[in-house]
Structure 1
Amino acid sequence: MDIRRPDIVSTTLADGEEPRGTPTRVLVVVPVRSSRRGEGADAPSRSATAKRDEAVGLAAAIDLEVTEAVIVTLNEPRPATLIGKGKVEELAGLVTAHDAGLVFVDAALSPVQQRNLEKAWKAKVVDRTGLILEIFGRRARTKEGGLQVELAHLSYQKSRLVRSWTHLERQRGGFGFLGGPGETQIEADRRMIQERITRIERELEQVTRTRRLHRQSRRRVPYPIIALVGYTNAGKSTLFNALTTGGVLAQDLLFATLDPTLRQMRLPRGTKAILSDTVGFISDLPTMLVAAFRATLEEVIEADVILHVRDVSHGDTEAQAADVKAILGDLGVDQATRTIIEVWNKVDLLDPESREAARNRAERHEPEARPHFVSAITGEGLEALLSAVEDKLRAAHDRMTVTVAAADGATLHWIHENAEVEAREALDSGETRVTLRIAPAKRDQLERRLAQAS
């Protein structure tokens, strides 16, 4: 695979085509601050080892061959190179020794820092934002997903064009650093990039309008929306497949799911609902990606119930949960007023001692906010989780008693299809008295049907 400057792209792979030839050899550099000054005392700590493992996972997500992963302790970031001169020289030796054509620095690099490190190491350098964008570019399978990734990448690339005009050339398909799916030709002109950004934003506005129409049509026969959110690789897609007919890619891989998927499901007492699987979140998720995927994440914003899926077996589960909550806040989700259920997944990976410790942590939550222990693989806890979801939905439903005319069998059928019938009594007059629970959005429809029949 040809690794060149960030603004020069290798040949695009066709859909479903696997990379050919020898994988790119990459050295992973993980800068870790020696102190946590400026952060809240209650902020969950993220271990250096967990940071390194996640960085290696990001590299593996696009089939890079990791030669070594190095943790670099930072006292203060250097404006020119982020890390100190001595460490830069030491890493240059590792790049040469491993014959690495790429260095992944698991941090946000300024254009100047990226350029200086490339000169010092004589290798292509990609920062955390760039690699995440590349992974998203590889994962996008729908036109919408491709547009969202391209918008985010162009916004990022635009900031990298300062004093780099001579390195630009007309490109053949693709917009990723390492090559990947794409459909634009980026010229050596910032104005051309901005025009393309504007066009994509218009197309995504149409996507937003289309999604809004779909939601409006669902409200006419409204099913509640249950949205899965969580840190990447927390097991959302495996859980999605366990609760529905499935068909979603579920792998032990960061960002295995990118394009959103919705499936209808039925809860234990018969309530129909729509379950939505979404892209996984990650620490330091590029802001342009959050903005670009806002149309997709609107399903989360408007969901009746949000299931926050956590990998309870992960050593950094608390820090991951904090990252997810921060991104939900960025999306405008008011977590104080929304119905959010924490789902502690992968309990099958816990040994008895760790499971007991997790149970004790869960018990410290208020009963209404107590997490649910589940395993999407073994099925443990799924029935209890679904019952809890249905209870949350029913709590928001109106309880009412109505009388249906003897000749109005259609309305009686509609009630059984769209509401939860608690009691039904045949009256001497031939009418039927029904006690039921119904969603507020459907109550208006029922009252209109009864008024028309009277």
Structure 2
Amino acid sequence: MTNSHNPRQSSDILDFRASALADDDNWHERDPDFVAFDGDQLEREERAAMRRVAGLSTELEDVTEVEYRQLRLERVVLAGVWCEGSVEDAENSLRELAALAETAGSTVLAGVLQRRLRPDPATYLGSGKAEELRDIVADEGADTVVCDSELAPSQRRALEDVVKVKVIDRTALILDIFAQHAKSREGKAQVELAQLQYLLPRLRGWGESMSRQAGGRVAGGEGIGSRGPGETKIELDRRRINTKIAKLRREIRGMKKTRDTKRSARHANKVPAVAIAGYTNAGKSSLLNRLTGAGVLVENALFATLDPTVRRAQTQDGRDYTLADTVGFVRSLPTQLVEAFRSTLEEVADSDLLLHVVDGSHPDPEGQISAVRAVLADVEATDVPEIIVVNKADAADPEVLDRLRRHEKGAVIVSARTGAGLDELRDIIDAALPKPHIPMTLLVPYDRGDIVNRLHTDAEVLAEEHTPDGTRLEVKVSEDQVEPLREFELADVTG
């Protein structure tokens, strides 16, 4: 295929800065060299190009050298391969990677995208573009490259050999954030398990020390006279990691029993359960605080909540239910994390209702919804009734909100910050939760006040009258309550 325009030089493309989505969505309409993407027919210049993505730098400005040295964190350059979708999708993904890097405590200096049919199996970006990335890293003074995909161990090693700085991938970055934010014993164990599962296939030998054999007592640190046939250092490390993984799995299973016991107690008391799930930083904890006054940590950061919080709430007609805040999801959530957090995510699968919170101000809320539903499918939570709750309405584009209303039937628009739409959400929760529906007329002796109290808590009391023989009640109860109340039922009611 021939081009009707003059091809760009690689250096020109490296200097070309695509405008931020929030500022300018139509750069391609004004670019005289732009060629529309048509299927997988990639233009030769696009295949050869790496484009700088604007607006990613978070480097501090106007600070003295002393302040700079005190505040300096890891300085990173982001790299992504754009294989499918639009340029907006590719830039959104890289911006999300920038937010992840900031959350991990890094300073983002630059971000680059390369257009390819698929990532290079050797160096991810391709050998020529990896060398260009090395020059960008050197120019920016970066010490780390973060790639917007999960790299094979060989890809990471080969790219490190070219760019001469540490290379990590999206999965390692997310695992690092989880490790920083985990607070509970269960959360820490789940994150450590995920990290070890990620590390196991990536053990790398460093010189002769990893290939030396350790036999007999040398593995314990003894030297001369103790050498002999045995495990290599890397085999020893692999065995230790497998042993630790098995230990962590046993610990998590033990913690799961405690969680299951609490959940069973709630089920035994027939307290309906509502789970809040959604993309990270969509405002789930803010919504929980608004609905229950829970006082949970709210932070404008990715994965601020890792340890699930369960709080008791009441419908507007006085029925009790539990509301559980869960860990946030993200695109390409590492499979190790899904597996490690499976026991936690079962809170969603076992709930009676799911509040799926979406950030209405995000550039791609539909992408968020798809990513969350993919994880919910992994934990078999797709059968739970779902209410789409579009949060941050105060900061969202009205056209985006209208589009979400059309695409997601029954979606409710709220703002946890201002309180807008929360009354409507409470009404929807009230209507969606199971209600007592079997009518009974009861006469409860005065010495069984515990029964009357339980009925006011777990049933719907329609009428109550104090008679000489006891308390007469007209109630609606759930199926499991009928048999225990039979002894108090008035079989022949005349008035």
Moved more, 428-437 or 20-29: 428-437
Q: Given the alignment, which residue of 160, 172, 195 partners 1:130?
A: 172
For the Cα contact (< 8 Å) 2:464–2:471, is it kept in 1?
no
* TM-aligned CA deviation for residue 378 of structure 1: 0.3
- Shift in Å, 1:123: 0.3
Name 1:74's counterpart in structure 2: 116
1:148 paired with 2:198, answer no
2:256 is aligned with 1:216: no
Relative contact order, higher structure (CA 8 A, sep 6+):
1
Alignment of 1:45-444 (within 5 A): 47-161=89-203, 163=205, 188-335=236-383, 338-350=384-396, 354-359=397-402, 361-363=404-406, 365=408, 369-394=409-434, 397-407=436-446, 408-424=448-464, 432-438=472-478, 440=479, 443-444=480-481
The one-letter code sitting in structure 2 at the alignment partner of 1:399 is I
Q: 1:24 aligns with which of 74, 82, 100?
A: 74
Q: 2-side partners of 1:30 and 1:422: how far apart?
A: 62
- Partner deviation per Cα, 1:189-238 (whole Å, 9 max, x = no partner): 21111001000000011011111111122233332111100011111111
**Deviations 1:334-383 (CA, angstroms, capped at 9, x unpaired):** 34xx2111101111012xxx325523541455xxx410010000001111
Contact 1:427 1:433 survives alignment (8 Å): no
Give the conservation status (yes or no) of the 8 Å contact 2:443–2:488.
no
Residue identity opposite 2:386 in structure 1: I
- With over 3 angstroms needed to count, the CA separation of the structure-2 counterparts of 1:379 and 1:450, relative to structure 1, is same
The answer to whether the 8 A contact 1:225-1:274 is kept is yes
Report the CA distance shift for 1:380/1:115 in structure 2 as closer, same or farther (over 3 A): same
Q: What is the RMSD of the two structures over their aligned residues, measured on CA atoms? A: 2.6
Using the alignment, how far apart are the partners of 1:166 and 1:245 within structure 2?
A: 59
Task: Assess, with a 3 A threshold, how the Cα gap between structure 1 residues 46 and 145 changes in structure 2: closer, same or farther.
Answer: farther
Letter in 2 for 1:379: G
Q: Is the 8 A contact 1:30 1:55 kept in 2?
A: no
Is the Cα–Cα contact under 8 Å of residues 45 and 319 in structure 1 kept in the other structure?
no
* Contact in 1 for aligned 2:462/2:473 (Cα 8 Å): no
SS of the residue corresponding to residue 394 of structure 1 reads coil
Are the structure 2 counterparts of residues 122 and 364 from structure 1 closer, same or farther at C-alpha, using a change threshold of 3 Å?
closer
Change (3 A) 1:437 1:71: farther
Q: Are residues 330 and 20 of structure 1, via their aligned partners in 2, closer, same or farther at CA, if it must alter by over 3 Å?
A: farther
CA offsets 1:221-275 (integer angstroms, 9 cap, x no match): 3321111000111111111111122322212211111111111112211111111
**Equivalent pairs, count:** 399
Q: Which amino acid aligns with 2:389?
A: V
Partners of 1:167 and 1:226 in 2: CA distance? 53
**Residues 360 and 155 from structure 1, CA distance in 2 versus in 1: closer, same or farther, beyond 3 angstroms?**
closer
* Contact kept in structure 1, 2:459 and 2:475, CA below 8 Å: no
Contact 1:363/1:370 (<8 A) preserved: no
- CA distance in structure 2 between the partners assigned to 1:62 and 1:364 by the alignment: 34
1:88 corresponds to which letter in structure 2? A
Residue type matched to 1:409 in 2? G
Alignment gaps of 5+ in structure 1: 1-18, 37-43, 170-185
One-letter amino acid matched to 1:94 = I
**Residue 242 to residue 80, structure 1, CA distance change in 2 (3 Å):** same
Point out where structure 2 has 5 or more consecutive residues left out of the alignment.
Answer: 1-68, 212-233, 491-495
CA contact under 8 A between 2:276 and 2:356: conserved in structure 1? yes
Distance 1:89 1:357, change over 3 A: closer
Alignment correspondent of 1:448: 484
Which range moves more in the overlay, 74-83 or 214-223? 214-223
Structure 1 vs Structure 2: percent identity of aligned residues? Answer: 37
SS state at 2:419 partner: coil
**426-435 or 211-220: bigger deviation:** 426-435
Post-superposition Cα deviations, 1:157-203, rounded to whole Å, max 9, x if no partner, equal: 0010155586779xxxxxxxxxxxxxxxx995211110010000000
Sort the Cα spacing of 1:381 and 1:29 in 2 relative to 1 into closer, same or farther, 3 A.
same
Deviations 1:275-307 (A, max 9, x none): 111110011111110000011111111011110
SS in 1 for 2:434: helix
In structure 2, how many angstroms separate the alpha carbons of the residues matched to 1:134 and 1:80? Answer: 25
Following superposition, the deviation at residue 70 of structure 1 comes to 1.6
Aligned-partner residue type, residue 24 of structure 1: E
Secondary structure at the counterpart of residue 252 of structure 2: helix
Query: d(CA) in 1 for partners of 2:147 and 2:477?
Result: 55
- Residue by residue over 1:407-450, the C-alpha shift from the partner in whole angstroms, topping out at 9 and shown as x without a partner, is 34332222012222234456797551313244x4xx33x53144
The letter for the 1-side match of 2:169 is D
C-alpha change, 1:47 and 1:194, in structure 2 (3 Å) is same
- Say which is worse superposed, 231-240 or 45-54, in terms of deviation: 45-54
Shift in Å at residue 66 of structure 1?
A: 0.8
The whole-number CA distance in structure 1 between the counterparts of 2:161 and 2:286 is 43
Contact 1:404 1:412 in 2 (8 A): no
CA distance in 2, matches of 1:149, 1:109: 20
Q: What is the CA-CA distance between 1:329 and the residue it aligns to?
A: 0.4
Partner of 2:15: none
TM-score, normalised with respect to structure 1? 0.82
Describe the SS at the equivalent of 2:405. Answer: helix
> Aligned residue for 2:43?
none
